[in-house]
Amino acid sequence: MEKYNIAVIGGGPGGYVAAIKAAQLGAKTVLIEKEKLGGICLNWGCIPTKTLLKSAKVYQYIMNSEIFGVDIEDKGCVHINWDNMQDRKERVVSQLTGGVKSLLEKNGVDVIMGEATVASKNEISVNGQLIKAENIIIATGSSPMIPPIEGISEAMENGHVVDSTGLLEVENVPKELVVIGAGVIGIEFACLFSTLGCRVSVLQRSNEILGNIDYDVRKSMEKKLLNMGIEIIYGANIQKIDGDTVYIEVSGEARQIRAEKILVSTGRVPNFKGLESLELEKTKRAIVTDESLRTSIENIYAIGDVNGKFLLAHVASAEGIVAAENIMGKDSKISYDNIPGCIYAFPEIATVGLTEKKALEKGHDVKISKFPMSANGKALAEGESSGFIKIVADEKYGKILGVHIIGVHATDMISEALATIQLEGTAHDLAKAIHPHPTMSEIVMEAAHGIVDRAIHL
């Protein structure tokens, strides 16, 4: 029986990072993965979608090339080569997953490909082999939640209904797409396929998209989606799915929407399979963990989607490091107060900290500053002037409570705001930091000036 200090179950962005950190700290470590190293994020989620979104952006630039002074006489000769887009996606994924494999090898982590079953709190069975571990880190991730809609199982079997993984692997760009759910994944796919010429309808049960996002950003994104020709149907109660047709009720009125593909994007559920022998404290949606990532069993930790805190790759990686450090004797804790969130739509959205509404609910005396991308030189030069930044600050000292950006490169610019909040910085600090010109990041400085006094270029 092979013996290890730490066994990690799951090789996604939480699991492989935990294994590498554990090995770096001197632990004899094994990583067990049943499918592909890199998990959902690298293979079927974050990276593939962003790669295809870039291809869609290039197509968008070409079809609007006259804006940049580049004339194409016959745009009818410009075609989407979906097969080549998919090939590029696979090359990017392959390079990254190969890099993960190499990192694990160079850090001395043993990797076993196979499905793990936990036999006890110190034993794991995989491929008929029994592994003994002093500590176990559970990083089994999550799977798409399939809602109990009449006819959905049959429609998935015949290929009309797909989850996010299935939509990434379609043979052709569908002519029509219905997206069930207006969360982050649903909106990203709506933007991707609408840009590629697909007619997209989004069905949302509530009366808003992207429910946890700041109101101003959310309404701006909604307007952008509508301008792209994406139909958003609020208050949609889905009655059934029959083949390629979705039957809904909206305000008491029955409607039918037919589409070549129907994407189910209504959330995710944790993967508990293989953990049945452990009497872990858990809810229907998560294994319960403390700030050290410990579960109710002292030597077992849970990170990533399976603990239900934040279903984000970067959070899983941070949790993996904390779990490994705690096992190896460090008093390491994680804070979920300032987690950045990114949406890779057109335009991008990035946010960190409190929304205006949340800040008011917490009793802060709030001051708001907004600065538009249309007043930024670099944004105008690049033809990407839609969107804005919104800073939520405390009135008295200018402490940054939250930053919300919608616009090109928003997901890259949010890190400056994150660092400022993490260091308990103020709008005065951001305003005095001399930003390079011309850059998109100047909007951060300008909005900070708006908190201190008034923006310069507005």
141 is in an annotated binding site: yes
Residue tagged active-site, from 79, 437, 449, 457: 437
Active site residue 437: yes
For residue 282, give the 3-state DSSP assignment: strand
Q: What are phi and psi of 7, to 5 degrees?
A: -115, 130
Distance CA 385, CA 106 (A): 45
CB distance 15 to 139 below 8 Å:
yes
Q: Is 185 annotated as a binding residue?
A: yes
187 labeled part of a ligand binding site? yes
The set of residues, in sequence order, having a beta carbon less than 8 Å from that of 59 and lying 6+ positions away, is 78, 80, 195, 196
Residue 353 assigned as binding residue: no
186 annotated to bind ligand: yes
Distance CA 57, CA 63 (A): 10
Q: What is residue 171's DSSP assignment?
A: S
- Computed on alpha carbons and rounded to an integer, the radius of gyration of the chain in Å comes to 24
184 is in an annotated binding site: yes
Q: Is 267 annotated as a binding residue?
A: yes
3 state SS of 147 = coil
Bridge pairing between strands 110-113 and 2-9: unpaired
Q: Give alpha helix (H) positions in 107-236.
A: 152-157, 164-168, 184-195, 215-227
- 26 known member of a binding site: no
Residue located via tokens 């090939």: 87
Dihedral, CA atoms, 432, 438, 443, 445, nearest 10 degrees? 0
149 known member of a binding site = no
Closest C-alpha to 19, from 100, 86, 99, 92? 100
Q: Residue 67 to residues 63, 195, 225: CA-CA distances in angstroms?
A: 10, 17, 21
Annotated binding-site residues read 50, 140-142, 181-188, 267, 305
Per the annotation, binding residues for NAD(+) are 181-188, 267, 305
Active site residue ranges: 437
**Which residue positions form the known binding site for FAD?**
50, 140-142
